[in-house]
Amino acid sequence: MLHIQLPSLRVIGNVVSGNAKQTQKVIELGGLEYLKRCLFHEKKSIRKETCWIISNLAAGTSSQVEALIRSDYLPTLQKILNSDDLEVIYKSLIKLIIDQKGVSVGNLQFDIDRK
């Protein structure tokens, strides 16, 4: 199955690194739920590729970042930061932490300070 998953993730990664419309289509088609499952895959290469895709999503529009937050990605990424190796952690949502400041979802306000 890995021989199909990794190339498929790379295709998704290329799509989300395109324009905002392409990225939005991945979100609309349920890509966030699929990617969340891939974050805990037993193969490091799958986890690493998935984190790269999520970092591209996190660099998207504010509504795309809000979709990540609404999909409960922050606690999921916290688990990765606490448990995975440094190479996968590096590929995780560092862009969200650094680039996105003050993204609000409903009554929640996420204000991440640069450190």
- Taking only the tens place, the pLDDT of each residue in 59-81 is 889 899 889 888 988 788 777 77
This prediction has a pTM of: 0.73
State the number of CA atoms in the 13 A half-sphere of 1 facing the CB: 5
Q: How many CB atoms lie within 10 A of CB 41?
A: 18
Share of the chain above pLDDT 70, in %: 70
Amino acid letter, 49: E
Of the candidates 56, 67, 61, 58, the one whose C-alpha atom is nearest the C-alpha of residue 33 is: 67
Q: For 2-98, CATH number?
A: 1.25.10.10
